[in-house]
Structure 1
Amino acid sequence: MAGHNKEKRYECDVCGKAWRSPSKVEIHRRVHTGEKPYVCSTCGKTFAWLSGLNVHQRVHSSERPFTCSDCGKGFKSSKDLKVHRHLHTGERPYTCSDCGKSFIRSTYLLSHQRIHSGERPYICAQCGKGFARSDCLLEHQRTHSSERPYTCAQCGKGFIRSHHLLEHQRTHTGERPYTCAQCGKGFTNSSNLLGHQVSHTGERPFTCTQCGQGFTRSTRLLEHQHTHTGERPYICTQCGKGFTSSCKLLSHQRVHADGRPVPSGERFAIASQTLSHQHVHTSGQPYHCPYCGEEFDSSRAWRQHRRTHAGEQLLPL
């Protein structure tokens, strides 16, 4: 019996992946070489594939050819429409193998997984601090400048991040849109609500892969991981000593509580006031209530708030 002739396939000499057409192999090789021959005539951005350029060019136009049949919203690409559809279906197809949390985009999962791995591929050229996401690096770089692009129209206060401005505006309106389903308490942001909800469940979803310790917030896990890596990203501006967490920096700065001038040019009687003052410029709120997740920019306000939970068993920080 005569054998069937197998169709010839052309292999990539780098990874061994094969195609029926040699031209497809050449296009694929751009994955390895980084070649991007297709250039946007409007902004100069380059692409490895023509299809990528075609999708990108819609950024410069109002064209939205892919429309959601449920809500009518238009999208530049079929991929964006597919991701959007998950909002209607509730589907979250990308699941973290470490903690089970799921996401609507693979890129969101990739960023999340760096919480568990400790990977920080985006490095600040000025101070060397690493970040899990490029947008976090961009926001951090503003701490090295006076740039505060998001400004409150009511009081003029500026913020590094747009969501910090949105949360701040709620101090003017009194809005607390995030409500606990169990006790009805409202919060200005979702992270405070999530922190509060563990007071009902005791859940600690963020776990250190090295020692197994659990935390209620990803920021707490990140600070804890510094104890394993030896990283000390919180630097005292008066003596240069580094610390693994903002709270330890705050405690240390009391050593300098002798009225000496601080680098910002403003004098304070105690160093804890200096740190609280600096948060006015950075929008940071380092004091977290272990019962409800509310955040505060001074230890005094934090202590006063904790009294509202009198009689509750203290949760470990």
Structure 2
Amino acid sequence: MGRRHTCDHCGKAFAKIKGLTQHLLIHSGERPYECDQCGKTFLRSNNLKLHLRIHTGERPYECDQCGKTFTRKGSLKTHVRNHSGERPHECDECGKTFTHVHVLKTHLRVHSGERPYDCYHCGKAFTQMNGLKTHLRTHTGERPFDCYHCGKSFTRMSVLQNHLRIHSGERPYECDQCGKTFNQIENLKTHQRIHTGERPYECDQCGKAFTRKEELKIHMRIHREERPFECDQCGKTFTQMNNLKTHLRIHTGERPYDCDQCGKVFTRKDDLKLHIRIHRGERPYECDQCGQAFTHMNSFNIHLRSHSGEKPYGCYQCGKTFTLIKSHKLHVCIHSKARSYSCYQCGKTFTRMDSLKMHIRVHSGERPYCCYQCGKTFTRMDSLKMHIRIHSGKRPYGCSQCGKSFNRMSSLKTHLRIHRGETHQNSFSVSNVKTESCHAISSVINTDVNHECLDQKVLQHQEGRRKIVSEPAALTSFYENIKLKNLQIWLHRVQM
């Protein structure tokens, strides 16, 4: 039957007058069917009937595979495709397939660049009307979806549904490779890229690739030198809002993350997680060359350079290379003579902030590190660690030649000079002192003075002085004292 009824406004033709009558309502704006519960109006009576099911809770169409119910038959048909895997609507440009035709239409705008829905507040454009509606709530402040557990509100229903899983503990999305579970499908997809190695978001300037689009956006700020988040107290700027929030805790003194085992508090959650590994003894990063394990990835990466010999940080002035960026920065200060950290009490300057903090304890008298066995306090953690060895008896530094052990590295270094025949850094050897002293005493008296005793006296004398001056007069006096002491020892033995 031919179409005989034509719309005077748009020229669209209909086979029946009823169809034309309903169509004309679009141009007139009339919506004659009204819901008596919420007042919403509709063009057609069928649309009103479907709408009423929202109020009655009626969902007559049920999926026979998973039991999910729907208010409309079309919605059920589309849902069944999730089980069958059917995706009948294909994009001609990229080959991507979809379960519903309206999703394909929206997808095509990605290729055409069409964004027909504009925000009249800021001009931002969207490919979908729903995207625009959600965006407008950022301007109006509307957050219509409330959590009945904690009262927190959201701009989108999907965000609320994800939030509710925090209270229920539900994590329905599981990784089939490692078993880790997630409360959002997007987080699972991102996680799976760890196993596949996929990094689909690449920087077109430096080639660095990322697993998440948000990470690429943040990275691009480095090239644009964009730091949009500024601290209103000190003016420091950041590329990410999270970094600014963490930074603000320096000013407020807030440390919200505390260890439930030792009570230590942290400004960042990641720092707490790393700290907990100390209590657990967890060291997940193991070197496959020497077997040494580490709690932090950064420490592990730095350790690997000891095997590879890599020293990636070079000084542009003298060419010296370093394995650590921290060491490199400190070395550069030597050339620049930059000492940017100054003591406000005495004016002394330092190249490092931690050196300044330790120096301030000289003025404040603060000794924050306390021995739990005897109560002795120290200004530095290193000093406390060495002190604890007195109680524990630990002597970790052993001599490879005689097996004698020491609780301090400096003591081991001093001991090794005995084996090398050194008396002091300034060049006088123990062997020379011993020989000259013995010959000098032999010329004065003819006796069997114990040379081992003499050796010990020489070393004790030098250990007490720690420093030997190099003038000849001082050396002569030094040797004469040795002769006199050993002569007194010999005379005492003779009289006995």
TM-score w.r.t. structure 2 length? 0.40
Which consecutive unaligned segments of at least 5 residues does structure 1 have? 1-8, 278-299
- The structure-2 alpha-carbon separation of the partners of 1:71 and 1:253, relative to structure 1 and needing over 3 Å to count, comes to closer
Determine whether 1:162 maps to 2:244. Answer: yes
Residue 75 of structure 1: aligned partner? 154
Count matched residues.
Answer: 268
- How has the CA–CA distance of structure 1 residues 276 and 224 changed in structure 2, closer, same or farther, with 3 Å as cutoff? same
Q: 1:180 to 1:252 in 2, by over 3 A?
A: same
Higher gyration radius (CA): 2
Superimposed CA distance per residue, residues 77-118 of structure 1 (whole angstroms, 9 cap, x where no aligned partner): 101111221221233445566766555445556666777749
For structure 2, the 5+ residue unaligned runs are 1-87, 343-349, 355-378, 397-496
Using the TM superposition, give the Cα deviation of residue 205 of structure 1 relative to its aligned residue in structure 2, in angstroms: 5.1
Q: Does 1:150 align with 2:231?
A: yes
**1:29: Cα distance to partner?**
2.2
Q: Deviations over 1:134-184 (max 9, x none)?
A: 575377579x589871144xxx4746332333331354xxx5432222333
2:327 to 239, 251, 262: 251
Q: Give the Å deviation of 1:198.
A: 0.7
The answer as to 2:273 corresponding to 1:189 is no
CA contact (8 A) 2:203 2:220 kept: no
Q: How far apart in 1 are the matches of 2:203 and 2:156?
A: 31
**Cα deviation digits, residues 185-228 of structure 1 (max 9, x gap):** 333432232122111222245789xxx9975346557878999x
Alpha-carbon distance in structure 2 between the residues aligned to 1:191 and 1:104: 20
Higher RCO, 1 vs 2 (CA within 8 Å, ≥6 residues apart): 1
The structural deviation recorded for 1:256 is: 4.6
Residue identity in the other structure for 1:149:
E
Q: What amino acid is the match of 1:67? A: D
Residues 220 and 88 of structure 1: CA distance in aligned 2, closer, same or farther (over 3 Å):
farther
Letter in 2 for 1:260: H
Amino acid in structure 1 at the alignment position of 2:266: F
Greater share of helix residues, 1 or 2? Answer: 2
Alignment of 1:76-225 (within 5 A): 76-94=155-173, 102-106=181-185, 117=197, 119=199, 121=201, 123=203, 133-134=215-216, 136-137=218-219, 149-152=230-233, 156=234, 158=236, 160=238, 161-169=243-251, 171=253, 176-204=255-283, 216-217=295-296
Give the Cα separation in 1 of the matches to 2:209 and 2:352: 22
Per the alignment, in what secondary structure is the counterpart of residue 335 of structure 2? coil
* CA displacement 1:218-248 (0-9 Å, x = unmatched): 6557878999xxx9996767679887x7xx1
Q: Distance in 2 between matches of 1:36 and 1:225?
A: 50
Identity of aligned residues (%): 35
Change (3 A) 1:235 1:194: farther
Q: Tell me by how many angstroms 1:38 deviates.
A: 2.1
Q: Quick one: which amino acid aligns to residue 114 of structure 2?
A: E
CA shift in 2, pair 1:112/1:239, >3 Å: farther
1-side partners of 2:380 and 2:235: how far apart?
A: 20
1:66 touches 1:75 (CA, 8 Å); kept in 2?
Answer: yes
TM-score (norm 1): 0.57
Cα 1:35/1:20, change in 2 over 3 Å: same
The 8 Å contact of residues 209 and 216 in structure 2, kept in 1 or not, is answered as no
